[in-house]
Amino acid sequence: MKDSITTDEMRSLELNSKYLGVSHSLLMQIAGREVARVITENEKVDNKSIVILSGLGGNGGDGIVAARYLDEVGAKVQVFLLGHEKAISNEDTLMNWMILKNLKRISISSLQTESDVKSCKAIGSAEILVDGLMGFGLRSKLREPLLTAVKVINKSKAIKYSIDVPTGINSDSGVVHGDAVRADHTISLHATKVGLIHAPEYSGRNHVVTIGIPREAAYVCGPGDLSSFGRPRKSTSKKGDSGRILVIGGSNVYSGAPALSGIAALRTGSDLVSILAPEPVVPAIREYSPNLMVTSLGSQFLQPEVVDIALEMINRNDVVVMGPGLGVHPGTLVAAVTIVKALIELDKPLVLDADGLKAIAASGLKLNPEKVVFTPHWGELKTIMNADLGDSTNLENRIDQAKDAAKQYNSIILLKGPVDVIATPSGDYKLNRTGSPAMTVGGTGDVLTGIVASFLSRGGSAFKAAAAGAFVSGLAGELAVKNLGEHILATDCIEQIPEVFKTL
């Protein structure tokens, strides 16, 4: 468990926990129990007046659950919901609120206006106040009646406990949005939110509690890795805002590989995909899809004499994919290294696959792990490492070898296999378990490359793009098998990419 965590990281963990079978409802029950435990371990609560102020989201639900446990040990508990119960946005919060409505020992009320809050004498007379109004994720100024509630809480002489983050604090930056609860204690769920480090005067004594998030949620690829890439487009979006991809690939032998990468990028949400390919395969690639913008290198294969054409197109795109179907002509390998060197100078995001990997083997090039992803299978990993890597079926060995390659090339390595390994130069890694044996069919690796490139064009880190790409590619393959049986094609996987987003 990390010492501190960002808002996006926490959301990802919660979603991945649900994917692994640990529901949000279960996490809320544990969180509420832990909140009550911290309070009872630090205060004498028997017959004490405890007021819990709950918001309409998950943080409020944690406080509502805590109320039952505090009542169980003898406290006099009152819960005030800030807003109408019909506005509760979290189904688990609503369920726990309805439980309290069945109990007669715990007093519950709704405070829907500023005047309701100001006239609530219980807040001022409470001996212990629990702030469950807002958790992590606040990014704008507090609205009423929350702002008034914060001011009233701060005027109280009660001992104040905030759940996860004192209301009013940005959980990433520590910025105060209008006003914030000055807590005596903050009960951090799972890990301290980064913003608290920047706002110690508001958080008081920090208590970190575990809430049942599995360790695997941090290193297994799941919906949480996809969450930041599945957000709706802005109404003001224009063509190109969701990514311009350039695929450099194809040879006088291979035409399908670059087309598959390009179409996969489009299906994943990129706006524009250009393909730069040798003259012999340009007509074939154009026939695959009218959605691809295909430009000829004007030569039989990628060679040093046409690198300037590639560099011109690179400047007009956000992400470059290089390698699908490129071939291994000696001139091609030289040209590919020249292009990669230029990409390093431009600090341009790159997904390097297939023959592109072979080109940079033993080149000594060091890239940027924030912007570069390699997508080798085991054989290609052996090539770029120029070594016998041992047992390819041993997962621990695969993890170690992926880490070594990431460190050697200072890039993200997405090692394809029955379990994909995504590794960073610093030794962090993720495992992706989605996929099907039917995906051994040719072209699925090119599809994965296009998906990763599309995510990389959204501005996230290469590690996040690779993890999300591996998850989506594998799940698309699973859906294709479910619909068609094990005799699938790479294009069947592409068609299932939008369905993956619908299932999450």
Structural domains in the chain, sorted by start? 4-215 (3.40.50.10260), 243-503 (3.40.1190.20)
Q: Across the chain, how many H-helices and E-strands are there?
A: 21, 18
State pTM to two decimals: 0.93
pLDDT at position 106, please? 97
pLDDT at position 356, please? 95
Closest CA to 53 of 29, 74, 77: 77
Structure tokens at 258: 């670059």
Q: What share of the chain is helix, strand, coil (3-state, %, to 5)?
A: 45, 15, 35
**pLDDT by position in tens, the chain (length 504):** 678 999 999 999 999 999 999 999 999 999 999 999 999 999 999 999 999 999 999 999 999 999 999 999 999 999 999 999 999 999 999 999 999 999 999 999 999 999 999 999 999 999 999 999 998 888 889 999 999 999 999 999 999 999 999 999 999 999 999 999 999 999 999 999 999 999 999 999 999 999 999 999 999 999 999 988 877 788 888 888 899 999 999 998 899 999 999 999 999 999 999 999 999 999 999 999 999 999 999 999 999 999 999 999 999 999 999 999 999 999 999 999 999 999 999 999 999 999 999 999 878 898 999 999 999 999 999 999 999 999 999 999 999 999 999 999 999 999 999 999 999 999 999 999 999 999 999 999 999 999 999 999 998 899 999 999 999 999 999 999 999 999 999 999 999 999 999 887
pLDDT at position 56, please? 96
In sign, the C-alpha dihedral spanning 322, 327, 333, 335 is: negative
Supply angle C-alpha 482, 379, 448, rounded to 5: 40
pLDDT at position 3, please? 85
pLDDT at position 1, please? 65
Distance from first CA to last CA of the chain, Å, rounded?
Answer: 25
Following DSSP, what letter does each residue of 250-261 receive, concatenated? Answer: --SS--HHHHHH
pLDDT at position 81, please? 98
Q: Where are the alpha helices (DSSP H) in 24-113?
A: 24-42, 58-72, 91-102
State the Cα–Cα distance between residues 206 and 162, nearest whole angstrom.
10
Beta strands in 106-254 (DSSP E): 107-111, 128-132, 159-163, 185-189, 192-193, 205-209, 244-248
State the Cα–Cα distance between residues 133 and 140, nearest whole angstrom.
14
Question: How, if at all, do strands 49-54 and 420-423 pair?
Answer: unpaired
Structure tokens at 63: 């406080």
